[in-house]
Structure 1
Amino acid sequence: MNRFALTALTALAITAPAFVSPAWAGDYRVGGIEVRRPWTRPAQAGMSGVGYFTLANVGKAPVKLVRVESPAAQSVTLHQTRDQGGVSSMRPVEGGVAIAPGAKVAFAPGGYHLMLMGLTQAQAVGGKVPLTLVFADGRRVKIELSVENGPPKAEAADPMAGMAGMHDHH
């Protein structure tokens, strides 16, 4: 086998695992934490925005999301929308969001979500919004929210996807 063929085969062997299990372009994995399909809606500078994704614990120990930071907003808070007696209310989440090993939590319209208060610039469709997820153990995971008009198409199978219009007042 000549040197070129050997180099080409070596390159293929190194890059092939990247194609074995395709994931949506915006998915992230750091250790036992996976962040799947992070997205946000378009919003004007100075207004509030929202953040959605699925947070999965594929590790062996519990994890707890305690804070989120972003240079794109004056502040970011964890929120949850709850329906009590037919009345929907939104409240900040105190103490963070815990995820047991093997479990996942959907940050989606009508449930847990992020509030990006005081956006520093407009969020236009096709753009990206940088975030840092901060966990109780000190781990920091940098992600980007994809600015979309609605949930990414791959989320259509998600039972929460049909609730997309419930949180348009932000």
Structure 2
Amino acid sequence: MRTARFLALAAVLAFTAPAFAGDYKVGALTIGNPWARPAMASMNGVGFMTIANAGAKPVKLVSAESPLAGVVEIHRSAMANGVMTMRRLDQGVTIPAGGSVAFAPGGYHFMLLGLKQPLAQGQKAPITLVFDNGRRAAVELTVQSAAPQASQGSMGEHQHH
């Protein structure tokens, strides 16, 4: 009987583990499914992820950096009067207490400006997130041409095409 329960549990874990494989935990924050689109060296790259805050207080993401880019900026794209606009967010982005912010195509995203090397399909690209409380989160963006499909709970409902 114990063997059957163990095997059932092992099977469940085998199918659920990949959904959490791309998550990072920093205090009350969970950074899920970080990814970037492929890009050539000396061009600009773009990175995405979801940041969830399980804490009782909001946390502000103030900046990001990467050794692969000259500079990393936080941007937001939005549709205004039928025209897509993009703005740099110098004040950062607040992750609300008990909430999350999706960095996804068509919305918030990270611009990796002046890439020092190409972002090739399947590669991992390091990025460090800097928060207002002084915490830093080292994250690896998985380079792929489309959003991860494993996380229908976080990124799935925020995908934009």
Distance 1:122 1:86 in 2: 32
Match of residue 109, structure 1, among 97, 105, 109: 105
Runs of 4+ aligned structure 1 residues displaced above 6 Å come to none
In the alignment, which residue of structure 2 is the partner of 1:37? Answer: 33
In the alignment, which residue of structure 1 is the partner of 2:117? Answer: 121
TM-score (norm. length: structure 1) = 0.80
Instruction: Tell me the secondary structure at the aligned position of residue 153 of structure 1.
Output: coil
TM-score (norm. length: structure 2) = 0.85
Write out per-residue CA displacement over residues 125-158 of structure 1, whole angstroms, 9 at most, x where no aligned residue.
1100001100011110100000011111224671
Cα deviation, residue 160, structure 1: 3.2
In the alignment, which residue of structure 2 is the partner of 1:161? Answer: 159
Distance 1:88 1:160 in 2: 17
Tell me which moved more, 85-94 or 112-121. Answer: 85-94
Match of residue 150, structure 1, among 138, 142, 146: 146
Write out per-residue CA displacement over residues 17-67 of structure 1, whole angstroms, 9 at most, x where no aligned residue.
xx5973431110111011000000111111000000001101122100000
Tell me which moved more, 97-106 or 152-161. Answer: 152-161
Letter of the 1:81 partner, please give it: S
Letter of the 1:135 partner, please give it: F
Contact map agreement 2:106 2:160 (CA 8 A) in 1? no
In the alignment, which residue of structure 2 is the partner of 1:5? Answer: none
Q: Aligned residue pairs: how many? A: 146
Contact map agreement 1:155 1:161 (CA 8 A) in 2? no
Distance 1:122 1:28 in 2: 24
**Unaligned runs of at least 5 residues, structure 2:** 1-9
Matches within 5 A, 1:1-170: 22=17, 23-155=19-151, 158-163=156-161
Q: Indicate the structure (1 or 2) with the bigger Cα radius of gyration.
A: 1
Instruction: Tell me the secondary structure at the aligned position of residue 141 of structure 1.
Output: strand
| Percent of matched pairs sharing the same residue | 49
Distance 2:125 2:79 in 1: 29
Structure 1 residues 27 and 92: alpha-carbon distance in aligned structure 2, compared to 1, 3 A threshold: same
Write out per-residue CA displacement over residues 90-148 of structure 1, whole angstroms, 9 at most, x where no aligned residue.
01013110111111000000000000001111111110000110001111010000001
Contact map agreement 1:66 1:97 (CA 8 A) in 2? yes
Distance 2:33 2:26 in 1: 15
